[in-house]
Amino acid sequence: MTRSLTHRGPDDEGYWIEGSLALGMRRLKVVDLEGGRQPMPNEDGTVRVVFNGEIYNHQHLRRVLEARGHKFRSRSDTEAIVHAYEEWGPDCVERFNGMFALAVWDARQQRLFLARDQLGIKPLYVHEGADGVVFGSELKAVIAAPWVSVEWDLEAVDDFMTYEYVPAPRSIVRGVAKLLPGTSRLYQRAGGGRASGRRYWQPTAPMATPPSPAAAAGELRERLLGSVRGRLMADVPLGAFLSGGIDSSIVVALMSIETPGRVRSFSLGFGDRSYDELPYARLVARRFATAHREELVVPEIGRLAGQLADSFDEPFADVSAFPTLMISELARREVTVALSGDGGDELFAGYDHYRAHRWAERLRWLAERGAWRLVDALLDRLPPSSAKKGPINKAKRFAQGLRRPADLEHARWWVFWDLTARRALYDRALVGALGSRDPFGYYRDRLREGSDQGFAGLQRQLYADMTGYLPDDILVKLDRMSMAVSLEARVPFLDHEVVELAMAIPAEWKLRHGRSKWILKQAFRDVLPRAVRSRGKEGFSIPMKQWLRGPLQPMMRELLEGPAIRERGWFQADEVARLVEEHVAGRENHAHRLWCLMSLELSLAALAARAGGRTALTRMVAP
């Protein structure tokens, strides 16, 4: 199990085995290089901890715990977890500021405690079966246990085809679940290993909001500065991803305040100018005098596609995984830790679909008229532009979203396989196996939960993305791609105290007169270059639609016309062939759908190879 995670921790390994209990770890040395070995015990060995991540407030916790009589033997943040558990038991996680997946064995109480950080930055997979509990940072570690059967979860397949990722708590393997963000799980050996879980943190609507935009901007700036300051904790070289967008530029700016003249920044560019953000990144790097490294990349597509499948385990079709892996490789040549700007879009309404939903609300009356149906049909027939976005592509995407259920709100523009498209794609046996399940239930649940927590309108949409899309897509991508090259990525925007402040800021200060992230830009208007503040959201993406017509076309045909996809019998071969031919001919842009199918094939093959003969393909019988 630990050998499968060597990439996450190439520097050290550790084990502790007692009877039927075993703890193992792989370590990437970042803090207290010599003293932080795991599994880490307390003084008498009755508490032992394995842990992936960082506890940024561990020095504060140490002072509190020492005042209560605890003795520390190292500078490691892991030891703060050990003594915090001794002092407060499972409630200790409520005091942690950081990113973590952790396990504590309590020999006195004969119980195993698992927990995941508030926002879900670090992953934790769990299998509960007749043979016991198995947990690990990645799916590959869990299925390495020989008694964990590998059978595909068809409802997870349906979710993946809807969202391009497998939402928690499901995984692509039946019987293996993901622990949700901000939750913990306690297993008691007495009574046959009974389990209990709780959610110890989630965003809630605040009792009070900042008195004015100026006050909100000032407090936001101060809290983000404190978050960055804490995330500079390292005994190894450290740098930052710099895209030239507002979020990564703010992180670099705050790093330069704390460590002037010592910031290292890393950027990628592409030959297609509509995807190239290097000019903005250079502008920020010059402003803050960073030691800047950039590359204009010509990706090794075949190698990267295979590496993605092996790193994610589960199917994952967000194409920004490619540049995330490439910039991680670039940064890892010089540093062991990199700060990222992820999370700003979900906190401050940075995505286009928030504006799209507002336009949809205003144009609801038009969508019911015959004239709109004519416009919609004309847009559907227009061939896509080769540019990254552009007016034609934006108009086509907006029209597609309007065809989807209105109660999905902004999530209508996340979906690339709606019900009609899936019915055309799925084989009759798969349709029968799925029955009448609602593939949009995941997002409807997120919106409903946001309402229960006291949020409405845009704030409820932000809540849905913060508890769904963010941990299940964005943070999965960041964790797996950085860890694939043994790089630790840190996300200052997702300090849970920053998140709590952000959710207290009124929606009209985030999306103001059609301008996204207004309050965030106000907070840093005197720091960032004007060109960076005024540019729109671009996204960290790649020219996948061109790649599928060029260097990735042979792989696409091999995967989607090969025997494996036909023998599995989930999809209609004629419909898959139609998507391929229309895209290659340039009549339509099916890049998201085709890469989704390719990612599924690559991931299932990689998992099956890891599981060996234990792969049990789900049998489907047509009704």
Percent of the chain exceeding pLDDT 70 equals 91
Residue 574: count of CB within 10 angstroms of its CB:
8
DSSP SS3 for 447: helix
Phi, psi values for residue 115, rounded to 5°: -155, 155
Pairing verdict, β 21-27 and 12-18: antiparallel
What pLDDT does 53 receive? 98
Q: What is the full DSSP assignment across 554-616? A: HHHHHHHSSHHHHHHT-B-HHHHHHHHHHHHTTSS--HHHHHHHHHHHHHHHHHHHHHGGGEE
Rounded to the nearest 5 percent, the helix, strand and coil shares of the chain are 50, 15, 35
CA distance 201 to 183: 7
What value does the mean pLDDT of the chain take? 91
CA distance 398 to 446: 22
> Omega of the bond prior to 39 within 30 degrees of 0, cis?
yes
CA distance 303 to 320: 16
Long-range contacts of 301-305, Cβ-Cβ distance < 8 Å, separation of 24 or more: 301/547, 301/551, 301/552, 301/555, 302/551, 302/552, 302/555, 305/552, 305/555, 305/598, 305/602
pLDDT single digits (tens) 259-278? 999 999 999 987 665 556 78
Q: Helix axis angle, 457-467 relative to 352-362, nearest 10°?
A: 140
What pLDDT does 377 receive? 65
Percent of the chain exceeding pLDDT 90 equals 75
What pLDDT does 387 receive? 57
Query: What is the average pLDDT across 57-68?
Result: 98
611 pLDDT higher than 80: yes
200 pLDDT higher than 70: yes
pLDDT single digits (tens) 319-341? 999 999 999 999 999 999 999 99
The candidate with the shortest Cα–Cα distance to 504, out of 455, 571, 432, is 455
What pLDDT does 614 receive? 63
Query: What is the average pLDDT across 145-163?
Result: 94
Q: What is the full DSSP assignment across 110-168? A: TEEEEEE-TT--S--EEEEETTEEEEESSHHHHHTSTTS-EEB-HHHHHHHHHHSS--T
Query: What is the average pLDDT across 150-174?
Result: 96
Give the position of tokens 């609801």.
364
Instruction: List domains and CATH numbers for the chain.
Output: 3-199 (3.60.20.10), 202-540 (3.40.50.620)
Phi-psi region of 343 (alpha: psi -120 to 50; beta: other; left: phi over 0): left
536 pLDDT higher than 80: no
Sheet of 132-136, strand order: 132-136, 125-129, 176-178
Q: How confident is the model at residue 537 (pLDDT cuts 50, 70, 90)?
A: low
List, in order, residues 6 or more apart from 619 with CB less than 8 Å away: none
388 pLDDT higher than 80: no
E-state strands within 413-543: 488-490
Residue 369: count of CB within 10 angstroms of its CB:
10
CA distance 465 to 564: 34
What pLDDT does 300 receive? 78
CA distance 393 to 385: 6
Q: How confident is the model at residue 115 (pLDDT cuts 50, 70, 90)?
A: very high
What pLDDT does 79 receive? 97
357 pLDDT higher than 70: yes
Which stretch of 13-17, 120-124, 546-550 has the lowest confidence by average pLDDT?
A: 546-550
Which residues make beta-bridge pairs with 24? Answer: 15
What pLDDT does 521 receive? 96
248 pLDDT higher than 50: yes
Decide which of 367 and 57 is more confident. 57
480 pLDDT higher than 80: yes
> How many C-alpha atoms does 132 have within 13 Å on its Cβ side?
13
Q: What's this model's pTM, rounded to 2 decimal places? A: 0.93
Pairing verdict, β 615-616 and 150-151: parallel
Q: How confident is the model at residue 369 (pLDDT cuts 50, 70, 90)?
A: low
Decide which of 435 and 390 is more confident. 435
Query: What is the average pLDDT across 432-440?
Result: 90
